[in-house]
Amino acid sequence: MASLRDIKTKINSTKKTKQITKAMEMVSAAKLTKAQNKAESFLPYTAKIREVVSSIAAGDQEISHPMLEDREEVKRTGYLVITSDRGLAGAYNSSLLRHTYQTIQERHESQDEYGIIVMGRVGRDFFKKRNMPVVQEIVGVADEPEYAEIKNIAETTVEMFTDEFFDEIYIHFNHFISAISQKVTETKLLPLTDVTNGEENTTQTEGEDEAENKGQLEYIYEPSAEVILEQLLPHYAESIIFGSLLDAKASEFGARMTAMSSATDNADDRIGELNLSYNRARQAAITQEINEIVGGASALE
């Protein structure tokens, strides 16, 4: 049986851990609010680009672009996976990485058939530990990311498609539903077939639905629709990447807040158990001392 000193040490240690988890829960809650606001404020930009691209693609059937068309043969598939740099977020990373790993194993027989672009230290370490082909990585993204931070990886991801290094690219990330719920999501980034065939993007928002329901607006293009499309499509693809990152950040803070809340509750339960053990051990020690005193007094008689 543990001594009173050992139990008291465990109680103090658990209380300190509780203070840390409670502080992390509060910090994550504050960051979650900011991440939600930032993700929501970015949606109108993506929606407007989509509206213009859809208008051009639907308005002139003769206009075509490689980023809008499925390739006849898919030789290599790219996976852009958005994870976090830190743990302590429950199943946020593990569920996403497990889904991506299983998807790759089911779809591909050789490493020559796919490549991975990864955001986040957790994802990078996961794929490199399994000797999977990581073609590009970025770590240390801020909690409130700016586009400049991921501009390089976004541009090179699009370039890898236009240069035919990849014939299709998917984004894997955790889509934010609520503070206690995130959904592992796969979105087809390139080619942008959802723009031309009317399919809904996986992360399409209610605001985008309303914009589409109002009908396409008519635009006058200068210098030409072809030139506008050439410039706009890469920006649209990059905006999807950045929007997915903002969505994933909100999911990360929601998952971490929930995990730290559970950890705090568990610490409370553990402290209660330890206090009960401490009181029992203290009562047993007092009882033993009384018995020893009584026994000693009886021996003197």
Helical (H) or strand (E) element with 136? strand 134-138
Give CA–CA dist 124/283, Å, rounded: 53
pLDDT value of residue 290: 82
pLDDT band, very low/low/confident/very high, at 61 (cuts 50, 70, 90): low
Q: What is the pLDDT of residues 174-200, one digit of tens each?
A: 999 988 899 999 999 988 877 666 554
Alpha-helix runs per DSSP H in 60-137: 92-107, 121-129
pLDDT value of residue 207: 45
Contacts of range 35-40, beta carbons closer than 8 Å, 24 or more positions apart: 35/143, 35/144, 35/246, 35/249, 35/250, 35/252, 35/253, 36/176, 36/250, 38/144, 38/246, 38/249, 39/176, 39/243, 39/246, 39/247, 39/249, 39/250
Give CA–CA dist 226/222, Å, rounded: 10
Of 96, 67, 103, the residue nearest 81 (C-alpha) = 96
Asked if pLDDT for residue 216 goes beyond 80, the answer is no
Asked if pLDDT for residue 51 goes beyond 60, the answer is yes
pLDDT band, very low/low/confident/very high, at 208 (cuts 50, 70, 90): very low
pLDDT value of residue 161: 92
pLDDT > 90 in the chain, percent: 53
Give the residue, 228 or 135, on which the prediction is more confident.
Answer: 135
pLDDT value of residue 23: 95
pLDDT value of residue 203: 44
Strand-strand pairing, 77-82 and 114-119:
parallel
Give me the mean pLDDT over the 58-79 stretch: 80
Give CA–CA dist 90/121, Å, rounded: 16
Report whether 27 contacts 264 (CB < 8 A). Answer: no
Q: Is the pTM of this model over 0.85?
A: no
Give the residue, 150 or 51, on which the prediction is more confident.
Answer: 150
Q: What is the pLDDT of residues 244-253, one digit of tens each?
A: 999 999 999 9
> CA Rg, the chain, in Å?
28
Strands (E), 139-222: 168-178, 181-190
What is the chain's mean pLDDT, rounded? Answer: 85
Cα atoms in the 13 Å half-sphere on the side-chain side of 143: 14
Q: Phi, psi at residue 91, to the nearest 5°?
A: -95, 15
pLDDT band, very low/low/confident/very high, at 297 (cuts 50, 70, 90): low
Please give the single-letter amino acid code of residue 221: Y
Give CA–CA dist 105/109, Å, rounded: 7
Q: Which CATH architecture describes the domain 28-256?
A: 3-Layer(aba) Sandwich (3.40)
Residue with tokens 């075509």: 64
Strand-strand pairing, 168-178 and 181-190:
antiparallel
Report whether 251 contacts 92 (CB < 8 A). Answer: yes
Asked if pLDDT for residue 210 goes beyond 70, the answer is no
> Nearest 5 degrees, angle CA 172-CA 144-CA 238?
45
Give the residue, 115 or 5, on which the prediction is more confident.
Answer: 115
Cα atoms in the 13 Å half-sphere on the side-chain side of 118: 24
Q: What is the pLDDT of residues 14-25, one digit of tens each?
A: 999 999 999 999
Q: What is the pLDDT of residues 104-162, one digit of tens each?
A: 999 999 999 999 999 999 999 999 999 999 999 999 999 999 988 888 999 999 999 98
